[in-house]
Each structure stands twice: as structure tokens, then as C-alpha cells.
Structure 1
Amino acid sequence: MLDPAYQADVVIVGAGVAGLSAAHRLTSAGVTTAVLEAAPGTGGRMSTEKVDGFRLDRIGQLLSTAYPELRLTPGLDALVLRPFAPGVLLHSDGRHHRAGAVASAGGARGALHAVRALASAPRATGALRASAPLGTAVDQARLGSALTRLAAMPVERLLSRPESPARQALAARGVPARTVDGFLRPLLAALLCDPELTTSSRCADLALRSFAAGRLCVPEGGAEMLPELLRRGLPPGTVHTGVRVTSVSTNAVTTAEHGEIRCRAVLLATDARAAADLLPGLRVPDFHRLTVVHHSADEAPATGAALLLDADRGGPVAHTAVVSSVDPSRAPAGRTLISSTVLGPPPADLDTAVRMHLSRLYGTSTRRWETLAVHHTAEAVPAMRPPHDLRRPVRLLAGLYVCGDHRDTSTVQGALHSAHRASTAILTDLGAATPMHTSEPLPTTQAA
């Protein structure tokens, strides 16, 4: 079965977290693997820009400590997660309101405790208090119970629920409109980049389940640390950057720089549009557009390490955080990093609109804040409108596979899980007992 002309058992196209994590699983099983990346570096959308000692994420996707694949993926053992303050901070009617899990365990019991505590707590003085966005005490107790059930519900049972747009499903379950608009809409906008709640109810439930069962967090050092740790753990010479793949088949890929590379299987681990360019007929979803604006300040706003959401939708910013309070490594000593996300098309005068909105959200002047970077990403997050297949096939046919966040859920968990499924399918098809090929050297002129 093995042709000595093969240069690798598996060629992976794309060096984002999906491709790199699949490469880890394959190389660990003795499968010689080559990862080809057209860009000059690895990571794809999970990139971090360095500006004057600041570390600025291009997209800034939120993670959760409840994502199973962060624990299961080889190569991520050294990943350090920096959690936000428990729950979230809601801005509504000129005030801040705490909402969500507050127990240190971060589990389902914590989620229920938080809402009950808010329901019974006396009205606080100052900037932080609990009240309106969650509705009445009864509304809050019901919300707490719902979060508790989601946190404890097996995933397969959750996925068997009837599917509809998230807003329609919430209304059908009797969730009051004030709870949806005051808490669930801004929360799901932060988690799924979908403020209109058009996402599949099953995907929204998964996101709320992770919120209730864990803690929102970011990787220490920036989003790039996930792909960087995965890349470091691979055998030398596995990853090749600056190599553009022009066509694929079940036993070879053709590159613009080095011609044909022969193999036993090909795994497409690019974004959805690039995958469809190589394999016409693959589904290309709609995408959520976003812009991330990074500011520096001499003094940190008083919100601490909280994720601040705008429940009033009073401006372009959907959510914002003093990221340097969550992860001090992202800003030089004595400086503060504030990162804010705008969903959809940005306003014409973005900087002015964002500054005015942030001034209201944080309750402080932003006139002297310095704009460090503005990152626009038109196709940032694949939309997951119903009907949405959360387990889209990764095996197209024997020898040709595809993975990425467009095959599962539009999250880091989804990207890693699809890579897990794809690498398992490849190993099954190659045969665990089949001796693997000793690869020939690939071109090294542009290897990473």
C-alpha cells in the first residue's frame, strides 16, 4: 500500500488551531505529517499584534474553562488561561449590574447562587448594584434554574432539543423579554457575535452551558498562544509557511511554490471560503463581521477584570474589558489596555463613536486614551443559523478530509473538536496497524 514516492502520510492545508491540533494527534500516532500554510505565520484568525509592548488580539474570541478540548488537545498542557471576574457586568440605564456565576468553583451551583443572590441582595450604593437587566426576583430565580439545568445537561441530550432561532426558542420557553434583552442578548452577542439572536437555539444553549459551567477567560499572552504552543510541540520541519496550495486530491496536493507533494491523505484545515475554493461544492456559511478597537490609558477604569456588556445597545460597542486587568502580560508596566468589540458594519466615524460609547460604559473620560490599533475582520465568525449541523462530516471520502470551526460550532472548542474528529477518521482509514511511512524531506526554503 505504501508507495516510496510518498513525501508524507498526511498533508494538512492550513496552520490554524484546527490544523495544528490535528497534526499533533496524527504525529503522536506515528503518522508523518506536513502542515502547509500560505501565510507567513501560523494561527490564522487567532493572531496577536505587538505594538509598543502591548499584545493586541485581532479578534479576541472569548474562551471558557468549560471547553473540554482545551484539556484534551495534545500540546496545550502549558496553556495558561486568565479568567475574567465571575459572571459579567451589565451596563443599563447608566449603571452597572453584576450578573452570572459568582461561586469560585464556576460550576452550575455557582450560576444558580449568583442569580439568587442578586434577587435577594439589597440595592447597593455606588457604581455596582444588582437589579433591572435580569428582571424581577422571580425572573432571576427562573434564569438561575435554567442555567443550572444547562450546565448539568449532557451534550447529546441538549442537541436533541427542537431547533429554532435562539430568540424564538427563548420566547417559547417563557423567558421574559426583559431578561432576554437585558442579559441573554448582550451575553450571547459577546459569546457568538450575534446580537439579533438568529443563531441556532442548540448552539446558543451550548454557549450558555459553557458560561454556566465554567469561567470566561483569555489565553495568557494573547490569542496567538494557542497556535504557538501547538506549533512548538510538533516535530521540527512539520510546519511550512509561505506555501500556497492550488489544488488537492486524495493522494496529493499541488503548491504554487514547490509543485506536487504526494501523500496518503489530505486534510483541509483552512477557513470555510478557502476550503470551498479548493473543493467547489463545500458549503460556505454567512459570517458575522466585527471590529476590535484597542486603547491604552494611564489609569484603569474601576470595573477591574470584568467583562462589560452593553444591555442598552446605546452605541457601537457590544462588549469591552480592561484586558490588562485580566492578563497583565498584555500591557507594559504602568499602562492599561482596554479592548472593545464592535459587531456588524462599523460606524463612519468609528474612533469618535467608540470613545463616546466607552465614556458612558466606563463612566470616565476617554479623551486622553490612545488608540493603539483597529482590526476589521469581515468574515470573523461563521454564522450558525438553523438548521445548523453541529457535526458536519469531516470525511468527504477516503483520503480527503476537512475540519475547522465551520464544521462544528463557531468557537475555539468547535475548531479543536472538528480536528479531533478528523484526525480520528484519518487514523481509522489509514489503519492503526499499518506501518507508517518515513517521510522524505519537504522543501525547506520557507519552512517554519
Structure 2
Amino acid sequence: MRSTAHHADVVIIGAGIAGLSAAHLLIGAGLGVSVLEAEPRVGGRLATDEVDGFRLDRLGPLLCTSWPELTGTPGLGAPELREFAPGVLVHSEGRRHLTGDIRSARGALKAVRTRSSAPRAPWAPRAPRAAQSACGHEHGAPARGGGRGGVVTGAIDRARLGAALSRLAATPQARLLARPERTVAGSLPGVGLPGRTVDGVLRPLLTALLSDPALTTSSRCADLALRDYARGGLCVPAGGSSALPELLAASLPPGTVRTGVHVTAADITSVRTKEHGELGCRSLLLATGAGAAAELLPGLRVPSFHPVTVLHHTAPAPPPTGRSLVLDGDRSGPVAYTAVMSEVDPSRAPEGRTLITSTVLGTPPPDLDRSVRAHLAALYGVPTAGWELLAAHHDPEAVPAMEPPHDPRRTVRVLAGLYVCGDHRDTSTVQGALQSGRRAAEAILTDLAVPGTHEGSPRLPEAA
């Protein structure tokens, strides 16, 4: 097994987390690996820019603490994760409703007891009787035009939702993948929960988890995403999403990753680059995005994508939502979800400064900042005219679509010696990218007949 400047046992094109995680497993088995990346940095779409002391994600996906890959992937170690507050804040009909920890029936009922026993703050407007009895907490004033107070879901409804999520958390993955497959939008009416719970909580939550405002995703993938949510809370990496690929790259042997290298052609035994000519190899792994992989490997199926736009604002003072993820239950504006990110992860903002991160799904409006700030004023219940836009990043191919029928374990072996990995071969998540990288490394080790390594290496539990 050897790796030199012009030869490696395995050449990996793309230094995203899928390719970097595969490199760790292959090097651990004794293979020589060279990772080539066209960009000047590692990470692919998991990029974080620094602007005036703020750390701003270009994409900023939501992670789950339940993902075993976050703590079991070689090279990641135990990354610092910053958790959102339990439950979510759903904005509906002019009010924000704290669901409490809806991942369990006990948590949902506890939120209601806490609300009923807590004294009302002197400044808080008294909610209508129906809203007081049905919601965990209420924030903000009634909607203009005589809104009903925005009843999202009642105590018993939240307990039923918590019980359903608890059952989902205990359901084996194989059983979920054996369920009839439809779109999420087509399956929601049959989940056995009241319509107000489905529309008020499940729909905006799944929209955020899947980055799919029309909910055209496979219902099986939605079940897997909800199971992850039910098993652990939502979180983000400390310091920005780029922390994950940076950890993986830093723990590889020096010289393994070469950035700023543009691949012009590739086959099983060689890779041609603009900067370094031809590099020889025994196996080739394409770990780029789906579009770039198809350019190098004509005929590779390219999925459709969900566009995502992420905006970062700074404000004179943080809105009163703490570490909660705020969802738009009414779909009344461009923002699908938002959070005071400086409360969730203080390392992303200079001391004493506020960072609000918001996500727009689908095609963004032409007057993006104005529309988003107007919507954020309603979601947070505070004026936003004085907020400053730090950055806005739009990615038309941010999240590969998982429309039915969707195979969450698409083959990573094109043929012996040629492999493809990435979230487009698995589920469209950070976890899916890590899992596909592991599957690709195992396929390469099998085909190269590397003895006594992958067969006895510890395997992560299956989760999607």
C-alpha cells in the first residue's frame, strides 16, 4: 500500500464530510489515500464565513444529538454541539406557542402544568380563554384583524403527539422502511392525530427537518427524520457547521488533503488535474455533490434539489425567544424557521452582540431582506427596522430531494474500482453523508481484499 505525490491506493475527489470520513476509514485500514478538493477549503456546502467577528453558516443544517455518526465517526472525536431548547416555538395567528418537549407525552404534559402554575408577567397581555387552556405558553399580541389567539394544539393533543413520537423512537429502522411509501403531504392526513396538531406542529417541523416546503419528500424519510428528532434534540456544531469537516481534515495525516486542485477527467486507475497532471490510483471515490459527480461520470442520475437561502442579521438586542427554534406555523412569509443563534451558540457572535439566523426555503422573494425582516418582526414580535443584514447565501442545490420512491441506501459501488458517496446516495442530511462515506469505504476495502481490517472494525448503529 503506498501513497506518493503522483500515486495513491485510493483517490477521493471532494473534501466534504462524506469523502473525509471515508478517508479516515481507508487510512485506518492501511491504504494510501489522496483527497483532492477544488475549493481553497474543505467542507463543501458545510462552509462558515467570518464577518466582523461573526461566524456565519452558508447553509447551516439542523443536526440531531441522536445521530451516532456525530460521536462515532473516526476523526470527529466528540465535537462540541450546541442544543436548541426542548420543543419548538410555533408562530400561528399572531402568537408564538411553546410546545414544550413534544418528544414525549410526559414532557408535553409537564409544559402545560408549568404554564398553569406560572404567574403571568405584569407586561404580558391576557390571552383568550381558549388559548390559555390549550397552549403551553403564549408570547406576543393577538393578530391584527381580530385573530382568534392562535390555538395550535391542546394539552391532550400534545400528549398524544408525544406518545406517537415515543413509539416512533422505539421503532426499528427496517420496519419504518417497510411502510407504504407516499409523499409526506399525502401521508399526513392519515397519521391519526388531530388536524390542528398536524398543521400546527408536524407540518412546520417536518418542513424544517426536510428543507421541503411542499412536503414532496418520501414519507419513509420523514419517519426517519422524526425518529431522529424523537430520540434526541436539535443542535448545531459549536463555531459553525464548518467545524465538522475541519475536525475530520485536521486529524488526517499531513498531505492527505490537497485543496485548490481541479480534476478535469477521471477513471478507475488515474485522475487528471489542471495543477498536478496525472495521478495514478487503484480505486477512485467521487465524493462531490451530485451534479459535479455526474460531470465526471456521465450517466450518473442527478436528483432534483430543494433551494435554501440563509440570512444572518444582527440586532441591538436579542428577541425574547432564548434558545428556541421558531417555526412559521401559518406559512405567512418567506421564513420557514429562525433562531437567535447567539443564544444557541455564543461562539458565533462577538461578546455582547446578537446574531439571528433565518432560513428561507424554495425560491427567495426578489426583495429578500425587506420581506424577511417584515416576516421576522411578526415571528419575534419586535421591530426589525434597525436590524442589519450581515450576509445572505442562496444555494439552488442545497438539499437533494428525496421524492418517492426513494432508496436511502443507494449503491455506492458503480463497479469494482469506482465508487460514489454523498448525501445524494443516502438521506439528504449530514448523517446521510457520513453514512454514505462509511459504506463507500467498506465497499472499497472489500473489493481490494484488505485483510483483517473492515471485517472486524466496529460498526456504528444503523440510523437515518
Structure 1-normalised TM-score?
0.91
Contact 1:134/1:140 (8 A) holds in 2: no
Q: Which residue among 176, 180, 183 is the counterpart of 2:194?
A: 176
C-alpha distance in structure 2 between counterparts of 1:230 and 1:272, whole Å: 21
Give secondary structure in 2 for the equivalent of 1:9: strand
Matched residue, 1:426: 444
2:289–2:422 contact (8 Å) kept in structure 1:
yes
**Is the deviation greater in 315-324 or in 144-153?**
144-153
Match of 1:194, SS? coil
Question: Is residue 2:87 matched to residue 1:87?
Answer: yes
Q: Which stretch of the first structure deviates more once superposed, 84-93 or 49-58?
A: 84-93
Correspondence list, 1:284-295, <5 A: 284-295=302-313
AA in 2 matched with 1:314: S
In structure 1, the residue matched to 2:104 is 111
Q: Do residues 68 (structure 1) and 44 (structure 2) align?
A: no
Q: Is the 8 A contact 2:287 2:420 kept in 1?
A: yes
Superposition deviation, residue 198 in structure 1 = 1.0
Task: Give me the whole-angstrom Cα distance separating, in 2, the residues matched to 1:259 and 1:231.
Answer: 24
- Kindly indicate whether residue 166 of structure 2 is the aligned counterpart of residue 148 of structure 1: yes
More displaced 10-residue stretch of structure 1: 144-153 or 130-139: 130-139
Partner of 2:10: helix, strand, or coil? strand
Identity %, equivalent residues: 62
CA distance in 1 between counterparts of 2:111 and 2:214 reads 26
Q: Call closer, same or farther: CA 1:301–1:162 in 2, change over 3 Å.
A: same
- Output one character per residue of 1:324-367: Cα deviation in whole Å (capped at 9) or x when no partner: 10110000011000000111111111111111111111111111
Q: Does 1:267 align with 2:285?
A: yes
| C-alpha contact 2:315 2:387 (8 A) present in aligned 1 | yes
- From the superposition, tell whether residues 122 and 58 of structure 1 become closer, same or farther in structure 2 (CA, over 3 Å): closer
**Cα RMSD (Å):** 2.2
- What is aligned with 1:129? 137
User: Which amino acid in 1 is paired with 2:97?
Assistant: H
1:329 aligns with 2:347: yes
Partner of 2:462: none
Judging changes above 3 Å, is the alpha-carbon distance between structure 1 residues 336 and 306 closer, same or farther for their aligned structure 2 residues?
A: same
Q: Is the 1:6–1:264 contact (alpha carbons within 8 Å) kept by the matching residues of 2?
A: no
Q: What is the match of residue 441 of structure 1?
A: none
SS in 1 for 2:424: coil
Cα drift, residue 138 of structure 1? 4.3
C-alpha displacement of 1:99: 1.9
- The change in CA–CA distance for 1:385 and 1:96 in structure 2 (over 3 A counts) is same
Q: CA deviation at 1:3?
A: 12
Unpaired runs of 5+ residues, structure 1, are 103-109, 436-448
- Correspondence for 1:222 among 211, 221, 240: 240
Deviation at 1:173, TM superposition (A): 2.8
C-alpha separation in 2, matches of 1:6 and 1:48: 31
Q: CA deviation at 1:117?
A: 3.6
In the TM superposition, what is the alpha-carbon distance from 1:386 to its structure 2 partner?
0.3
The whole-number CA distance in structure 2 between the counterparts of 1:286 and 1:379 is: 8
CA distance in 2: counterparts of 1:287 and 1:2, whole angstroms: 38
- Whether contact under 8 Å (1:407, 1:418) holds in the other structure is yes
- 1:243 corresponds to 2:261: yes
1:446 corresponding residue in structure 2: none
1:445 alignment counterpart? none
Comparing 166-175 and 143-152, the one that deviates more: 166-175
Question: Contact 2:327 / 2:336 at 8 angstroms: preserved in 1?
Answer: yes
Report SS of the residue matched to 1:353: helix
C-alpha distance after superposition, 1:353-410 (max 9, x if no partner): 1111111111111111111001111111011010001000001111000000000000
1:162 Cα deviation (Å)?
1.2
Code of the aligned partner of 1:111: S
- Residues of 2 paired with 1:73 and 1:259: CA distance? 33
Indicate the SS of the match to 1:401: strand
Structure 2 runs not aligned, ≥5 long: 126-135, 139-148, 454-464
- Separation in 2 of the partners of 1:378 and 1:28? 36
The AA in structure 1 aligned to 2:11 is V
- Pick aligned residue for 1:255 from 243, 251, 273: 273
Q: What's the offset of the Cα at 1:429?
A: 1.0
Counterpart position of 1:105: none
CA distance in 1 between partners of 2:236 and 2:111 (Å):
26
Q: Does 1:370 align with 2:388?
A: yes
Map Cα deviations across residues 99-123 of structure 1 (whole Å, 9 max, x no partner). Answer: 2527xxxxxxx52223334566656
Kindly indicate whether the alpha-carbon contact (under 8 Å) linking 1:165 and 1:200 is maintained by their aligned counterparts in 2.
Answer: yes
Contact 2:100 2:111 in 1 (8 A): no
Question: How many Å apart are 1:242 and its aligned residue?
Answer: 1.0
How far is 1:168 from its partner? 1.5
Amino acid at match of 1:374: A
TM superposition shift of 1:94: 1.4
Deviations 1:135-160 (A, max 9, x none): 34443333122101111111122111
Q: What is the aligned partner in structure 1 of residue 327 from structure 2?
A: 309
CA distance in 2, matches of 1:298, 1:320: 17
Contact 1:100/1:111, CA 8 A, preserved across alignment: no
Match of 1:444 in 2: none
AA in 2 matched with 1:230: L
SS of equivalent to 2:425? coil
1:23 aligns with 2:27: no
Partners in 1 of 2:194 and 2:14 — Cα distance? Answer: 44
Is structure 2 residue 290 aligned with structure 1 residue 297? no
Note closer, same or farther for the CA distance 1:300–1:4 as it changes in structure 2 (3 Å cut): closer
Tell me the distance in 1 between the aligned counterparts of 2:47 and 2:5. 36
Q: Is the 8 A contact 2:104 2:159 kept in 1?
A: no
Secondary structure at the counterpart of residue 298 of structure 1: coil
Deviations 1:144-197 (A, max 9, x none): 221011111111221111111012222223333322221111111111111221
**Displacement of 1:129 after TM fit?**
1.3
Cα offsets for 1:201-251 (capped at 9, x unmatched): 011011111111101000001010000000000000000111111222112
In 1, the alpha carbon distance for the partners of 2:3 and 2:13 equals 21
Answering whether residue 179 of structure 2 is matched by residue 161 of structure 1, we say yes
Alignment correspondent of 2:414:
396
In 2, the alpha carbon distance for the partners of 1:3 and 1:255 equals 17
Determine the C-alpha separation between the residues in 1 that align with 2:153 and 2:346. 35
Question: Is 2:426 the counterpart of 1:408?
Answer: yes
Summarize the Cα distance change of 1:4–1:59 in structure 2 as closer, same or farther, 3 Å threshold.
closer
Matched residue SS, 1:180: helix
Shift in alpha-carbon separation, 1:64–1:434, aligned structure 2, 3 A: closer
